[in-house]
Structure 1
């Protein structure tokens, strides 16, 4: 009978190997963070300074000016007085229940994170639309980013940068950036080939075709990506509060740990209000853009 003792030893050997690999990786990451953590933190100092300035701007500006700016943005995007009225009532209720400062802190994080996601995501999406090889490389990375739980993003970011605003923004950007990349790529690829041929026949350069034809025609799809990016950024608010990001997420986290039902519900509803407001504004602008393009095509 053949000796089968190696079969009984195999699971123990496998666990030993895995533990050794994990220990090596953990030690390597700790050494990397010790060696380059300070340099990485200094690299993000301008972002931290801008975050602090923008948050103070929203907090120190009189509430009625902030509300007027948000209402004006809503009207510019939608041309709807009903949406503007809803925005005014929603933010007045937020102020009435004493959540104005936390809402402004959350807005500062969401706005900065969304702008960063757009600055990174739009060029990557455009590059994907122009290169099948780039699309093959980036698509699996986006799949991983959308599959990993939000908590996982916090581990390497916190180990490198500690807790605070910058790690929170980085985690939010990583979590929220896939939709804008995917939908920018999709929108540009869906532009009619005949339209592109006509632009080429008129002597348009590749950059002119991109900026004057592809991006305007893909704008409704790109706006849908922006909308999804904002929604995903808002969904990370509570998770980001675990690493010291101030805003509406911290009272919700406090309510969960201490069973403060009213505190959690009110701040959770404030997050929902922000999500609805940003969603309606971005969707309204996308519909107006689509209607404008439809009028041009029919004309």
Structure 2
């Protein structure tokens, strides 16, 4: 009996699909590539054009005035560390890449999470998809992304988004389910429209859990940075890869610690900004 009859090869079915997408939707993928590259280029230009000390000073002052002194100190330590390690340019490239990936991930996950919290059938339908997205190794996401968008930063961002959406979506759904029913009934009893209930009652009540989801999204996005370096995304991931291929422990350690510094910076700034918006009632 031929054993090949009992073998399942998904690549044999997916490869023609990818080829068909490349043939028929190339203008669309090209437009997506140009848009993401333009956004990344703009953010990198803002971060890299001024001297490093100017960027550090501006971030520290903004954090002190808009959030609090503790966050500004953390931001100063993280950015100064990235500068002193000699990886300032790579750190800013990574910061831009992760910022874009997290913003897009949250923009996708937040509305879907709100819908899932309101409609159980929709939640049940997307749950298996989220399970697959979180279970499949992140290497797998890079393969079709590279096949469609070629090497560079765009496939890295696409793979990062796929990896970062599930935790944010799940925790958004949980956050809105945990909103006290009496608060919702109070808002409805006062005649508040659904938009006002969402922004004035639900989001403020759900903020603590939403912060956890944002934190997980940031951390998972940074976890993809090293893999992104393998497909030409640059940044700190490329430095880690270079240290691995050259067996340079010092370079790999410096790049790894710089990734930790960027993670702490993004985590503290995002938490502080959301808490500030919550306190202002935005």
Shared fold, TM over 0.5: yes
Please point out which of 207, 210, 222 is paired with 2:210. Answer: 222
Task: Indicate which of 146, 151, 154 corresponds to 2:139.
Answer: 151
Is 1:80 aligned with 2:69?
A: yes
Q: Return closer, same or farther for 1:161/1:69 CA change in 2, 3 Å cut-off.
A: same
Residue pair 1:187, 1:221 contacting (<8 A) in 2 also: yes
Q: Is the 8 A contact 1:220 1:286 kept in 2?
A: no
Aligned to 2:222: 234
Q: What residue number does 2:31 align with? A: 42
Name the counterpart of 2:160: 172
Q: Is contact 1:179–1:225 with CA below 8 Å preserved after alignment?
A: yes
* Partner Cα separation in structure 1 for residue 98 and residue 11 of structure 2: 35
Measured at CA, do residues 22 and 177 of structure 1 come closer, stay the same or move farther in structure 2, by a change above 3 Å? closer
Instruction: Give 1:181's match in structure 2, choosing from 159, 169, 174.
Output: 169
- 1:13 maps onto 2:1 in alignment: no
Give the whole-Å Cα distance in 2 for the aligned partners of 1:136 and 1:85: 44
Cα 1:71–1:200 shift into 2, 3 Å: same
* Post-superposition offset of 1:232: 0.9
Matched residue, 2:244: 256
Match of 1:3 in 2: none
**Are residues 69 and 127 of structure 1, via their aligned partners in 2, closer, same or farther at CA, if it must alter by over 3 Å?**
farther
1:172 touches 1:233 (CA, 8 Å); kept in 2? yes
Paired residues, what number?
281
Counterpart in 1 of 2:267?
279
Per-residue deviation, 1:24:
4.5
CA contact (8 A) 1:37 1:161 kept: no
Structure whose CA Rg is larger: 1
5+ residue gaps, structure 1, are 1-8
Residue from 97, 106, 123 that aligns with 2:94: 106
Larger relative contact order (CA 8 Å, sep ≥ 6) = 2
Question: What 5-or-longer segments of structure 2 have no aligned partner?
Answer: none
Give the 3 Å change call, closer, same or farther, for CA 224–22 of structure 1 in structure 2.
closer
Q: Per-residue deviation at 1:224?
A: 1.4
SS in 2 for 1:66: helix
Structural RMSD (CA): 2.4
Shift, 1:65, TM fit: 2.8
Match for residue 57 of structure 2 among 55, 68, 82 = 68
Deviation of the 1:36 alpha carbon: 2.6
How far did 1:28 drift?
3.9
* Structure 2 residue 110 is the aligned partner of structure 1 residue 122: yes
> Structure 2 length as normaliser, TM-score?
0.90
Residues 180 and 225, structure 1, Cα contact 8 Å, conserved in 2:
yes
> Is the 1:150–1:236 contact (alpha carbons within 8 Å) kept by the matching residues of 2?
yes
The DSSP-based 3-state class of the residue aligned with 1:243 is: coil
**Counterpart of 2:186 in 1: which secondary structure?**
helix
